């Protein structure tokens, strides 16, 4: 049975893949609130990923979950470099885990602040009571 690795796509990541064949493979999740790319991997490769991280696991759908954010960023970087959603993306990312070891160790102590634009939320907080239209 195949396993999967999902990569959440925000506006910044969408801009990085805009105009490539990867853009067509973006799929909506949670009723379109989020978008993702999915890499299908063999059981063996999925197990290799799981073994690298103490908290990683397969969920009920076969998706690899609970990997460090630094690893997820590395996987997306490899997706962009290779312009692929094939298993070679995860294979290359696994080879480069030593280069992100310090980031992974930091995450064990404290999760990094997401790099997202919150300006619209901050604007809404100035006037928290919304009037009907």
6-15: pLDDT as tens digits: 999 988 999 9
Task: Give the confidence band of 128 by pLDDT, cuts at 50, 70, 90.
Answer: low
> What's the Rg (C-alpha) of the chain?
17
pLDDT, mean of residues 67-78: 94
What's the mean pLDDT in 43-57? 94
Provide the β-strand partners of residue 57.
65
Whether 108 shows a pLDDT value over 90: the answer reads: no
| pLDDT at position 111 | 67
Band of residue 32 on the pLDDT scale cut at 50, 70, 90: confident
pLDDT at 114: 67
Average pLDDT score, the chain: 88
Give pTM, 2 decimals: 0.78
Q: Are 20 and 32 in contact (CB under 8 A)?
A: no
Tokens of 133: 């239209």
Please give the DSSP secondary-structure letter assigned to residue 66.
-
Contact of 41 with 89, CB cutoff 8 Å: no
């Amino acid at each position: 049975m195949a396993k999967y690795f999902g990569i959440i796509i925000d506006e910044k990541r969408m801009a990085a893949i805009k105009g490539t064949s990867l853009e067509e493979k973006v799929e909506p999740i949670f009723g379109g609130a989020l978008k993702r790319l999915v890499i299908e991997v063999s059981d063996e490769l999925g197990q290799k990923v799981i073994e690298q991280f103490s908290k990683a696991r397969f969920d009920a759908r076969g998706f690899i979950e609970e990997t460090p954010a630094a690893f997820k960023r590395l996987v997306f970087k490899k997706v962009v470099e290779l312009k692929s959603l094939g298993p070679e993306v995860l294979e290359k990312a696994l080879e480069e885990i030593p280069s992100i070891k310090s980031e992974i160790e930091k995450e064990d102590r404290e999760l990094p602040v997401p790099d997202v634009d919150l300006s619209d939320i901050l604007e809404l907080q100035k006037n928290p009571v919304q009037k009907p239209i």
